[in-house]
Amino acid sequence: MEPLIPTKTLKRVSPKALLTKSPLLQSTFKCQRFFFNSHLHALPNRRIPSLKIDSKLKTSQDNKKKPITQKIILSEGAPPLSEDVAGNEETSAKSQNSSSPMPVLRFFKKIPRRFLALLSNLPLAIGEMFSIAALMALGTVIDQGEAPDFYFQKYPEDNPLLGFFTWRWVLGLGFDHMFSSPVFLGMLVLLAASLMACTYTTQIPLVKVARRWSFLHSVEAIRKQEYADSLPRASVQDLGIILMGAGYEVFLKGPCLYAFKGLAGRFAPIGVHLAMLLIMAGGTLSAAGSYRGSVTVPQGLNFIVGDVLRPNGFLSTPMSSFNTEVHINRFYMDYYDSGEVSQFHTDLSLFDLDGKEVLRKTISVNDPLRYGGVTIYQTDWSISALQIRKDDEGPFNLAVAPLKLNGDKKLFGTFLPVADSDSPNVKGISMLARDLQSIVLYDQEGKFAGVRRPNSKLPIEIDGIKIVIEDAIGSSGLDLKTDPGVPIVYAGFGALMLTTCISYLSHSQIWALQDGTTVVVGGKTNRAKVEFPEEMNRLLDRVPEIVDSSL
């Protein structure tokens, strides 16, 4: 077989010539049986129809002829190639549509290289991330959103924390609203600038280099690769077919072959940077563009969403749903067998400006209501009033007040006067409640009189007064908020997980040169340093050996 001579000009490789000249289809040879269905790229860039070829292979291990149906698709070829003077061809694939760069890239081109190098410095980026983490930790230690008097008392100047930290630090630097403070947002902007500078100066050039189609025209250059081997009595076209079956993209130019796979792994770092930018943008929008508010509403009353919500930052923008009216239809609680409160629920109805009910839902802890960008959470509860009958008169509503207790237990109390309420020493019946299940009653002397359940209709007589507890009216504690950054943060974390997984894909490159009847093969990879030689050995073992057909 005559050796293939390298050429300096690109020639069109027709499907017929490429397939019929291959020793794989002409000679009797030794090989292992293989299957593939991939893409073979022929140069130059012209659209070539797909062919389906039925061929019969004969192996040394099995003398029986077994037909193998092979579908070879010759797709559009490579862009124009350029060679260097030394003879080792370094070819760059330029885009066929040489459109103008993106506006962001044009912006970075105007920035001095020295400044970009400073921004993309890895120690600087690590320092920025540690600074942001420290500010976030400080934001969890310092109570957020409290009134100035709270910080005056907690961080007084006459007794500074750590000898220097007073309320002036908290209020002056905005640490009372840490995640929308200028210091925190400034660190986020600096980290975002570092990520974009790193992407522009490092990651994008790496991708451009990875996309270059390199044809090496000397045996010495191929043997300098991380992996190198030679196949006597073999064909570079047969090697290309084997590589296609292993998932490689294969390009041929005369006696030279270039193949690669795993290019997506080179794009992954750019995706990771973009995902981090999305997370930071969403977090900033949540901190500086949201509304928050809390309200405690008795059962049966209403409130307007916009009256409760307050803006969190300079990016906060009101929405049309702020005009929605919320009605508390019912508030009730679930209890453990021990009598402790296990869950509390609120039946809510939402009405538009025309008084039409647009949504109704019963919410509970960890099961909020969402409408028009506003989320309503069930967070707390209390008792607003006791409804009683006195000597078969009424019912009357007695206002209930919370009483202070040590610990997190709740206690509510009210008072029913039985004498002249204008008297300075007015006496009456006291009623205490820990929840909506039962009411404890005490007489005018403060002695225990009995326990009654609301709605039991069971009267109790105290100091000659007959009392019936009709109902205990609960109040629902609700937190309302808008958070426009949540979808962006979720999208950023999803992209971060995906691109992180993609980044583990190895970008493998293989070069081959037909040197007479010998094929010299070399290759390298950026990750799987141990697996790559093993994969190459398996693939080269499958390349058929060409023997004289007369034997």
With helix as H, strand as E and coil as C, how does 418-455 read? CCCCCCCCCCEEEEEECCCCCEEEECCCCCEEEEECCC
Confidence band of 232 (pLDDT split at 50, 70, 90)? very high
Between CA 206 and CA 183 the distance in angstroms is 34
- The first and second tokens of residue 509, run together, are 């490159």
d(CA 61, CA 41): 31
Predicted confidence (pLDDT) per residue in 519-542, tens digit: 999 999 988 889 999 999 999 999
Per-residue pLDDT band for 271 (boundaries 50, 70, 90) equals very high
Burial class (CB in 10 A: 0-12, 13-18, 19+), 109: exposed
pLDDT, tens only, 159-212: 888 888 999 999 999 999 898 899 999 999 999 999 999 998 888 887 877 777
Q: How far is CA 166 from CA 176, 234, 344, in A?
A: 12, 80, 40
Specify the pLDDT at position 21.
Answer: 41
Dist. CA 314–CA 181, nearest whole Å: 11
Segment 350-370, tens digit of pLDDT: 999 999 999 999 999 999 999
Q: Which of 193, 192, 172 is nearest to 183 (CA)?
A: 172
Domain ranges of the chain: 15-88+213-262+506-541, 99-207, 292-482
pLDDT of 56 reads 41
Given a cut of 90, whether residue 7 has pLDDT beyond it is no
Instruction: For residue range 377-411, list pLDDT tens digits in order.
Output: 999 999 999 999 998 888 889 999 998 766 668 89
Q: How far is the C-alpha of 315 from the C-alpha of 477, rounded, in Å?
A: 27
Flag whether pLDDT at 130 surpasses 90: yes
**What is the arithmetic mean of pLDDT over 412-428?**
80
pLDDT in the model for residue 406: 66
| pLDDT value, residue 301 | 94
What pLDDT score was predicted for residue 312? 85
Residue range 414-442: average pLDDT? Answer: 85
Condensed to tens digits (0 to 9), the pLDDT of residues 17-38 reads: 333 344 443 433 333 333 333 3
pLDDT tier at 145, thresholds 50, 70, 90: confident
Q: Which residues touch 520 (CB under 8 Å, ≥6 apart)? A: 219, 222, 223, 228, 229, 230, 512, 513
What is the chain's mean pLDDT, rounded? Answer: 80
Tokens of 54: 């039925």
The CA distance from 273 to 279, in Å, is 10
* Rounded-to-integer distance, Cα 78 and Cα 260, Å: 13
Check residue 374 and give its pLDDT: 95
pLDDT score recorded for residue 45:
37
d(CA 524, CA 537): 13
Pick from 37-51, 446-460, 537-551 the range whose average pLDDT is largest: 446-460
> Angle at Cα 329 formed by Cα 323 and Cα 334, nearest 5°?
125
Cα atoms in the Cβ-side hemisphere of radius 13 Å centred on 43: 22
Please give the pLDDT value at position 215.
Answer: 87
Residue 266: count other Cβ atoms within 10 Å of its Cβ: 21
Measured CA to CA in angstroms, residue 37 lies from 52, 234, 242, 244, 245 at distances of 11, 21, 10, 7, 6
Residue 47's pLDDT band, with cuts at 50, 70 and 90, is very low
C-beta of residue 208 within 8 angstroms of C-beta of residue 290 = no
Range in 382-391, 400-409, 431-440, 473-482 with the lowest mean pLDDT: 400-409
Separation CA 106–CA 331 (nearest Å): 59
How many alpha carbons fall within 13 Å on the CB side of residue 406?
0
Cβ count near 46 (within 10 Å): 12
Higher pLDDT, 61 or 253: 253
Which has the higher per-residue pLDDT, 464 or 29?
464
Q: How far is the CA of 170 from the CAs of 156, 167, 551, in angstroms?
A: 11, 5, 91
What is the reported pLDDT for 208?
Answer: 78
| pLDDT for the residue numbered 404 | 75
pLDDT tens for 496-507 read 999 999 988 888
**Lowest-pLDDT choice from 67-81, 185-199, 350-364, 472-486:** 67-81
Tokens of 265: 């792994």
Mean pLDDT of 298-314: 92
Q: Per-residue pLDDT averaged across 283-291, rounded?
A: 90
- pLDDT confidence of residue 91: 42
pLDDT over threshold 50, residue 6: no
Higher pLDDT, 14 or 106: 106
Contacts of 456 (CB under 8 A, 6+ apart): 469
* pLDDT recorded at residue 13: 39
Residue 314, both tokens: 């300079």
Separation between Cα atoms, residue 332 and residue 329, nearest integer Å: 10
